[in-house]
Structure 1
């Protein structure tokens, strides 16, 4: 089976490529990535074909999709704050990009497409846990663009008979997740600050909660979906129902690192939801063999990776100011 991974040089993409390469039923992989958020170092040494460019480039997609059996569509402009700064760019990359991928999949022979959506589509709907049938109410342009991603997949299934699967990601973290920039996710931002001896910046009171999902579990679901060509008419949550506050995350990280952490608080971030937790019933039905990685284990593996790449051992005992 020949698989194309859009956004394959990114954090989730590079981990997914490795999961796909480990399967004997996957014979070859092509990656499409414009490197706007990905890094070729993430796929260095891997036996893949690489197409540098945007999913908005139809000619590039046609070349990359030639001879393929399936597409894992992860290419996107992530981050709620990034979408607030430039809503149009997020729309083009995420909504129009998905449309172009689906069109290219049709031209290439009705390829199977599994694509990344986001828990941000639930937005202002505060009910917990988040169940797929509940009302969506995105609070940011990013959330809207991911809702459009889902809608295009559903429409192409019904209109053109394309086998598709939309997966709603919940706060994915793990090795190769970028840090050190304005749009860094909370786990790499916290780990980097901790290892450099800087205070952890918490936006809000720290009682907001998330369903943190280790990237290996996400990569396993994606590779299993491709291998078994799992299609479903509606979006599916990809998280396992955990609920961890940022204060609890910091406490777990202190335990992993072995020293207390200094924390500063700023104003809550516009567009962010207060709490997020997945109902994983449907995911576990479709993927019964996929198991979650405990937060402690995931943080240990993530910290180990950050230490290896940064050569930081962390300070001995910075003061804590929660």
Structure 2
């Protein structure tokens, strides 16, 4: 059967699944700022995203689920590219309900890919560094085996595998990124599944203990969301594809205890650290090899961790619940 050719347009209409979430809303803002982007549509069921994240962004929010195949078909038919970020995040959340993580992250991804296959629309999708799991080698390069340690990691490996399989099977233009500990403005705190940086900032600004699970010597490769969304936008606009996964991180490696001290210094308070038992499914060390990323995106510029953390704390201080806390006042994260 002859395939319908990919449409060629002067401006791109982009559908972002998970578009009201932390990364998704930042991406919608970045896309809307690009002259070569026409319409931006954010699809989100608002289970972990927030409509307020898109305030002031020239993007249309459609509340709905990637499990709704008919809705996806309608939205994809009006798009020229899809960035698939919708997922049920968090290792602990997947341990509490593995089936729900599978449905959203694996089955939902197949729904997105089927809609894109029918419409012949390119897909950029988010996988996770968690797929490396128990593999001890550092830095993590894309040719390493994968050994997921949690249902979440397994579901993201399924996401990635389906995306790449659709590229190979149906000649669909695809690109699958492995995200490494993305942080920055709009990342929520104040809930049981909060990621490490917002959890730490929340604790420090409220004068509460910083909870570290394990000995604190576990390391992470943190990537500022502003850098991530620039890469995603460039991938869409330049129609970058790759037959294998691509790490989206820069090879930094920071112990969690050091991270807590850096944040305490920025907030201006001492860190009252409380060590707790290590959590099931947590990876010991994470560090990306970035050679493939830099070959595909030679102009990418990494935001240094110190600057990214300062901008993140600054954003937290704009929120009503933290705005009353002057610098240096122990008013304040649970480690993810």
Q: TM-score range by the shorter chain?
A: over 0.9
CA distance in 2, matches of 1:19, 1:308: 20
Is contact 2:266-2:310 (8 Å) kept?
yes
Is contact 1:51-1:64 (8 Å) kept?
no
Query: Residue 146 of structure 2 aligns with which residue?
Result: 136
1:230 paired residue among 240, 253, 256: 240
2:180 matched to 1:180? no
Query: Residue 297 of structure 1 aligns with which residue?
Result: 307
Query: Residue 4 of structure 2 aligns with which residue?
Result: none
Shift of 1:65: 1.2
RMSD, aligned CA: 1.1
Shift of 1:259: 2.2
Query: Residue 115 of structure 2 aligns with which residue?
Result: 104
Deviating above 2 A after TM superposition, structure 1's stretches of 4 or more consecutive aligned residues are 314-318
Shift of 1:107: 1.8
Is contact 1:259-1:317 (8 Å) kept?
yes
Structure 1: tracts of 5 or more residues without a match:
none
TM-score by length of 1: 0.97
Is contact 1:90-1:142 (8 Å) kept?
yes
TM-score by length of 2: 0.93
1:90 paired residue among 101, 105, 117: 101
CA distance in 1, matches of 2:59, 2:317: 27
3-state SS of the aligned residue for 1:308?
coil
1:168-227 CA distance string (max 9 Å, x none): 000000000011111000000000000000010000111000001000011011000000
Bigger drift between 149-158 and 233-242 goes to 149-158
Query: Residue 208 of structure 1 aligns with which residue?
Result: 218
- For 1:299-318, what aligned pairs fall within 5 Å after superposition? 299-309=309-319, 310-313=322-325, 316=329
Query: Residue 260 of structure 2 aligns with which residue?
Result: 250
Query: Residue 17 of structure 2 aligns with which residue?
Result: 6
3-state SS of the aligned residue for 1:27?
strand
1:123 paired residue among 115, 118, 133: 133
2:80 matched to 1:69? yes
- Total equivalences in the alignment: 317
Is contact 1:114-1:226 (8 Å) kept?
yes
3-state SS of the aligned residue for 1:205?
coil
CA distance in 2, matches of 1:59, 1:191: 40
Shift of 1:254: 2.1
CA distance in 2, matches of 1:136, 1:90: 19
CA distance in 2, matches of 1:16, 1:312: 29
